[in-house]
Copies of this chain bind each other. A is one copy, B any other.
Amino acid sequence: MNDIIDPKVVSDPKVISDPKTDLLARTLAASLAGEHVADIVETLNDQDAETATAVLLALPFERAVEVLDQPEFTAAAAALALFPDERTSAFLGAMSADRVTDLIDEVDEPVRARLLRHLDSETHAAVIRLLSYPEHSAGSLMTTEFVSVPSDWTVAATLDHIRHVERSRETVYAIYVLDGVGGALLHAVPLRRLISGDPMAAIATLAPEHKPLTVTPEVDREDVARLISKYNLLAVPVVDAAGHVIGIVTVDDVIDAMIAETTEDVQKLGGMEALDEPYNQIGFLSMIRKRAGWLSVLLVGEMLTASAMQVYEAELEKAIVLALFIPLIMSSGGNSGSQATSLIIRALALREVSLRDWWRVALRELPTGLTLGAILGAIGIVRIVAWQKLGLYDYGPHWMLVAATIGATLVCIVTFGSLTGSMLPFVLKRLGFDPASASAPFVATLVDVTGLVIYFGVAAAILTGTLL
């Protein structure tokens, strides 16, 4: 994202002075002021960074902060770099600490140092702490702006507090009740309970019976999403070892994380590294890097098929008819493997099966693969018999044996593909890799070499003495 910042401008930040840009910015700002923040972001994303910055300066301050707080606003870092010094400080102070952290994480020096210099000491400390959490963890997703009150406060006092801080909190729909002495989290009270509660009652009396659900800052975003989705939460508190709330992850951050996670998984399933940027924004060289790696690895793996074929060259020369069916047989193995692997990747992601269920899955895929293989084998045999009988092609005097070879090979290879495809995600997960890396191309390559060995093995068993 750094390439959106013009280093010339960054090194000498100043207000935009071009009168044409200025007029356009004022007009845009006036027409946008009443729009939904997501729509303002969409419009500004279509403008160049200078215009977007000028519009932000022309918007009411609070609206501009709202825009800057949206992760979808692509020119935020550029705008902060273009603002005059005093505005940069004001905006950084008003923005949410987690968004500021993301932006600082995004930019390179010297912009980074300049932004850090403009932070007040409290935000500076928060940003440094937030920067320390690993990517995709609850700590990196969380916001530090939440509502917490001591457990001896009344409902009325709590509501009054919410009224005062509402504007500066990302969500007020869950109130975290803390131990008056140690400050540890005791309860999470939904706002809806507060509204129907007795104003004079202690806030703790409204708490649900069960303990509040929490995560530690290291928890992966996938697990946070699972928790929020399972318990239908609007936010989940992130607590440190002492039980203090250090932030919350809200449902809209989780939705964004889920979408990013799905994008990553689909790209991995397609046999490539996950892109970090949208398809229409990533640079040519980054794109090549993300795709060439796996393609090359798979090509090198697939070279084993050439070696395997060399071993069977004598058989091929004797019975060239066997070569005709190589693509068909190998693709069937790959396709059945691809089905099984996608099924298991998803079942693992949804926790429908766990690592120790591998043998249960194997016991399931064995009869499934055999049945699917039998269906495909039957189709293969019908094809050869039909072509022979209809005179479309002559498979030679031993055509029935050729048909039997293809049929039997399909049964074996589809069974083998289903088993290999279903076990691969378990193996990857056990080894600490993302099961979604078990892409269709990866499985197909694994199955291809063995597929050739199976094919020529079956052919030898059936055709020796006749064709071979």
| B323 and A316 form a contact (CB under 8 A) | yes
**Besides the known contacts A39-B210, A166-B192, A295-B375, 12 further A-B residue pairs in the complex with CB atoms under 8 A apart:** A173-B173, A263-B350, A270-B339, A272-B339, A275-B343, A296-B375, A306-B325, A306-B328, A309-B324, A327-B452, A331-B444, A331-B445
Q: Say which residue of B213, B258, B291, B344 sits within 8 Å of A255 (CB atoms).
A: B258
Most buried by B among A209, A254, A263, A335: A335
- Minimum distance in angstroms from A102 CB to a CB of chain B: 16
**Which among A9-17, A106-114, A134-142, A376-384 touches the partner chain?**
A376-384
Copies of this chain, whole number:
2
Which residues of A, 3-44, contact B by the 8 Å Cβ criterion?
A: 33-36, 38-39
A434 contacts partner chain B, Cβ-Cβ < 8 Å:
no
Q: Which residues on the B side are within 8 Å of A440 (C-beta)? A: 269-271, 338, 439-441, 444
Inter-chain CA distance A39–B295, complex, in Å, is 45
Report B-chain residues with C-beta under 8 Å of the C-beta of A72. 230
Chain A contact residues, CB within 8 Å of chain B: 33-36, 38-39, 72, 159, 162-163, 166-167, 172-173, 191-192, 195-196, 208-210, 213, 225, 228-232, 234, 251-252, 254-256, 258-259, 262-263, 265-267, 269-272, 275, 278-280, 284, 287-288, 291-292, 294-296, 298-300, 302-303, 305-306, 309-310, 313, 316-317, 320, 323-328, 330-332, 334-336, 338-347, 350, 352-353, 357, 360-361, 367-368, 371-372, 375-376, 379-380, 383, 393, 410, 414, 439-441, 444-445, 448, 452
| A303 x B383 contact (CB < 8 A) | yes
Q: Across the interface, do A278 and B444 meet the contact criterion of CB distance under 8 Å?
A: no
Contact indicator A336/B295 (Cβ below 8 Å): yes
Q: B324 and A313: CB pair below 8 A?
A: yes
B-side contacts of A254, CB under 8 Å: 255
Q: By CB atoms of chain B within 10 A, which of A167, A262, A295 has the most?
A: A295
Contacts of A191 in B (CB 8 A): 173, 191-192, 195
A251: B residues at CB distance < 8 A: 234, 251-252, 255
| 16 examples of A-B residue contacts, CB within 8 angstroms | A191-B191, A225-B255, A255-B255, A266-B269, A279-B346, A287-B368, A298-B335, A299-B328, A299-B410, A302-B328, A306-B328, A309-B324, A331-B334, A331-B441, A335-B445, A338-B440
Distance in angstroms from A155 CB to nearest chain B CB is 12
**Residue pair B271, A162 in contact (C-beta under 8 Å):** no
| CB < 8 Å neighbour of A230 from B35, B38, B258 | B38
Q: When chains A and B are docked, how far (Å) is the Cα of A280 from the Cα of B344?
A: 10
Chain B nearest CB, measured from A398 CB (Å): 16
